[in-house]
Amino acid sequence: MTTIAHHGPPGPSGMISVEEARARILEHFSPLPVEQTPLTEVLGQVLAEDVRASFSIPPMANTSMDGYAVRAADTEGAAPSTPRELRVTGYLAAGSLFNGAVGPGEAVRIMTGAPMPDGADAVVPFEETDEQEHGRWSDAPRERVRVDVAARLGANIRRAGEDVRAGEVVLAAGTVLGPAQIGVLASLGLDHAPVHRRPRVAVLSTGDELLRPGEPLRPGKIYDSNAFGIAAAVRDCGGVPTILDVARDSVEALTARIHEALETADLLITSAGVSRGDFDVVKEVLAREGEVGFWTVRMRPGKPLAFGTFRAAGDRVVPHLGLPGNPVSALMTFELFGRPALFTLLGKPEAWVRPTVRAVTHERIVNPDPRRFYARAIVRSDGDGYVVNLTGPQGSGVLTSMALANGYAIVPEDVATIEAGEECDVILLGAPLPL
């Protein structure tokens, strides 16, 4: 296929905004099919169906304390000066059922989580008995127990269904599965969950200058950092990356790699070869193999961007995101375009948005041209407002400037300078450092 689709006319300056680029990209993404997936693998994935409880949790009343299951009435008036003595008729561990019932004047020694024996309506914790005097960890059977405190009816009992009631929707479709949600699914006895499957993302670096880390450095060459940074970012967004072998700047090499990617990938992410005035073969091959638009996005770093689609076997359409080659630009464009795409595939299209705060800049931030500048920054907070510093030189090849950052300070398109002491928006990547 040789069509080149330039997705609509660019703006007056020949550039499109970040928002417009993102909107055009996201048109091509929707949640992936649903798969029953083992609980051990669903962290960060999204439930595709409501999950109902087929039984209550806890299924039966049980004790929330180690102590003695009693009839509350038997302890009425108990106090250190007027203790009550009860006859111990049994010992009950969590996981066992008591064979019998607690009668008047009786108590069953019971461990946290053990089901309440019939007849008992309160639990007196060890601390309110003479248990300690008998040795805290002593399991030697006892005939009698002294109760020093009157028990309230129902004290220290977890009611059946206190957590979950049989039949109710416990987690609704659309829930993002974190540790607590996964724990809830397990508590319902489920070992799989219906989730939108994870996107398989092929990550392809292009360029004759690239060496794979681990190879000896040779004159004129650099290591391929993009593939590893992008693959990590993909994983961070819940995707499953596959790093393909570097495509050399030849039509054959690149064509072969693309076909390899199309066999399994839901998304192909390439880096490099998409600049204006770039005569890399990348553009030629992309245009020949699929439909692609080459955009200039009003942002820094990361102005050039390609987006398109390939047709794979079985009429599958595989979107392609062509990131710029400079390492900072590649990761920044992934952040702004790749991350939303992956989150959409996972079924949580809003979740890519990171928190943004207003911060006072400690230094002057200069925006060299009318593009939105995402400056790599260190954000600090004393809990009462934020301050921001740049991480150092901001060139798009200076990857360490990104490695030091916990935020991106934003200088709008139409602002040339933010002076020290002025405020700006900052995207938070992680927790602010202490001031």
Per CB under 6 A, residues contacting ligand AMP are: 205, 207, 209-210, 222, 224-227, 271-273, 275, 278, 280, 324-327
CA-nearest of 236, 203, 195 to 342 is 236
| Partner whose binding site includes residue 301, from Mg ion, ligand AMP, none (CB under 5 to 8 Å by kind) | none
DSSP 38-82: EGGG-TT-BB-S-EE-SS-BSSS-EESSSEEEE-GGGGTT-BTTB
- In the complex, residue closest to Mg ion by CB: 207
| Partner whose binding site includes residue 413, from Mg ion, ligand AMP, none (CB under 5 to 8 Å by kind) | none
- Contact residues for 251 (Cβ-Cβ < 8 A; gap 6+): 281, 284, 285
Residue placing its CB nearer to Mg ion in the complex, 47 or 243: 243
Residue placing its CB nearer to Mg ion in the complex, 205 or 296: 205
Residues 256-275, interacting with Mg ion (CB under 5 A): 272-273
CA-nearest of 260, 263, 257, 264 to 272 is 257
What's CA 250's distance to the chain center, in Å?
38
Quote the longest CA-to-CA distance of the chain: 95
Terminal-residue alpha carbon distance, the chain: 56
Residue 304 as a binder of Mg ion (CB under 5 A): the answer is no
Residue placing its CB nearer to ligand AMP in the complex, 272 or 410: 272
DSSP 193-207: EEEEPPPEEEEEEB-
Residue placing its CB nearer to ligand AMP in the complex, 15 or 227: 227
Please state the closest distance from residue 298 (CB atom) to ligand AMP, in A: 18
CB contact at 8 A, 39 and 184: no
Please state the closest distance from residue 377 (CB atom) to ligand AMP, in A: 22
For residue 180, the 8-state DSSP code is H
Please state the closest distance from residue 207 (CB atom) to Mg ion, in A: 4
Residue placing its CB nearer to ligand AMP in the complex, 84 or 303: 303
How many C-beta atoms lie closer than 10 Å to residue 137's C-beta?
5
For the chain, helix (H) and strand (E) counts, in that order, are 8, 28
CB contact at 8 A, 262 and 309: no
Tokens for 318, please give them.
């595989």
Sole window of 34-42, 108-116, 279-287, 368-376 interacting with Mg ion (rule: CB under 5 A): 279-287
Please state the closest distance from residue 59 (CB atom) to ligand AMP, in A: 56
| Partner whose binding site includes residue 225, from ligand AMP, Mg ion, none (CB under 5 to 8 Å by kind) | ligand AMP
Please state the closest distance from residue 375 (CB atom) to ligand AMP, in A: 20
Residue 207 as a binder of Mg ion (CB under 5 A): the answer is yes
| Burial readout 114-131 (b: 16 or more C-beta within 10 A, e: otherwise) | bbbbebbbbbbbbebbeb
Residue 322 as a binder of Mg ion (CB under 5 A): the answer is no
- What whole-number distance in Å separates Cα of residue 124 and Cα of residue 132? 13
Please state the closest distance from residue 27 (CB atom) to Mg ion, in A: 28
Sole window of 76-84, 144-152, 202-210, 378-386 interacting with Mg ion (rule: CB under 5 A): 202-210
Reduced to 3 states (helix: H, G, I; strand: E, B; else coil), residue 240 is: strand
Residue placing its CB nearer to ligand AMP in the complex, 107 or 244: 244
- In the complex, residue closest to ligand AMP by CB: 325
Please state the closest distance from residue 310 (CB atom) to ligand AMP, in A: 20
| Partner whose binding site includes residue 89, from ligand AMP, Mg ion, none (CB under 5 to 8 Å by kind) | none
Please state the closest distance from residue 268 (CB atom) to ligand AMP, in A: 15
Residue placing its CB nearer to Mg ion in the complex, 209 or 423: 209
Residue placing its CB nearer to ligand AMP in the complex, 31 or 302: 302
- What whole-number distance in Å separates Cα of residue 141 and Cα of residue 190? 38
Taken as a whole, the chain contains a residue count of: 435
Please state the closest distance from residue 368 (CB atom) to Mg ion, in A: 23
Which residues contact Mg ion (rule: CB under 5 A)? 207, 272-273, 280
